[in-house]
A = this chain, B = another copy of it.
């Protein structure tokens, strides 16, 4: 459940994670206070009730952050991919529910220790700040989607996001406009992220397939025949 830390130099997210700015010596210090955790898919990581005194870097897998209304209505407010940061520094309570969408591996640190480390290493804090600013932008982009886009555009936009965050070449047709993606979310989760019902998501996927933009290989695997058409279907905002 908590394997011993391994060398940061061999870390899968060495360049993309926050700690990418640290030199080897600083990295070694942080490493000594870090520990790994492995969660199966569909597991609660951090709730709201429990005050969370730790934070982490995602090494592998996908985490969903969600908020729930008292009557059960749920909204996924963010997805965390490898290299992303999980936690809420400077605050004991974590204001979301964090659950694994797939199997997830984390590199964890104590929250206050990490805060102290940021205080010392101002460049780390700087990167953290810039990432937080990016999170604001991402959340606001998604607000535009939730408030103003049609079901069709929402589903297309989600496919695009997944494609960008987990780019992998399509085994059939190397490079070119065709790409394959593996959806880390169930239909219900996709709906909870898009502010839709699962049936609507399913129907929109069918329609995107009907117009030739994508092809469903199986419920989880989707081949994007035409990335440009998908981007057009998503009305990727330009904010001119």
Q: Which residues of B contact A133 (CB under 8 A)?
A: 88-91, 132
Q: Is A132's CB under 8 angstroms from B136's CB? A: yes
Interface residues of A in 56-86 (CB under 8 A from B): 65, 67-71, 73-75, 77-78
- CB of B90 within 8 A of CB of A147, answer no
Whole-angstrom CA separation of A138 from B137 in the bound complex: 12
Please provide the chain A residues from 191 to 209 with a CB less than 8 Å away from any CB of chain B in the complex.
194-195
Residue of B nearest to A130 (CB): B90
Residue of B nearest to A78 (CB): B140
A149 contacts which chain B residues (CB < 8 A)?
A: 69, 73
How many chain A residues touch B (CB < 8 A): the figure is 48
Oligomeric state, in copies: 2
Q: A187 to nearest B CB, angstroms?
A: 16
Q: Which stretch from A15-23, A31-39, A219-227, A232-240 is at the chain B interface?
A: A232-240
Is the CB–CB distance between B237 and A141 below 8 Å? no
A142 within 8 A of B: yes
Chain B residues near A210 (CB, 8 Å)? none
A96 sits at the interface (CB 8 A): yes
Please measure, in the bound complex, the distance between the C-alpha atom of A132 and the C-alpha atom of B129, giving whole angstroms.
8
A contact residues vs B (CB 8 Å cutoff): 48-49, 65, 67-71, 73-75, 77-78, 88-91, 95-97, 119, 122, 125, 128-130, 132-133, 135-137, 139-144, 146-149, 194-195, 235, 237-240
A88-B133, A90-B129 known, 5 other contacts, Cβ within 8 Å: A71-B235, A74-B148, A77-B140, A128-B129, A139-B140
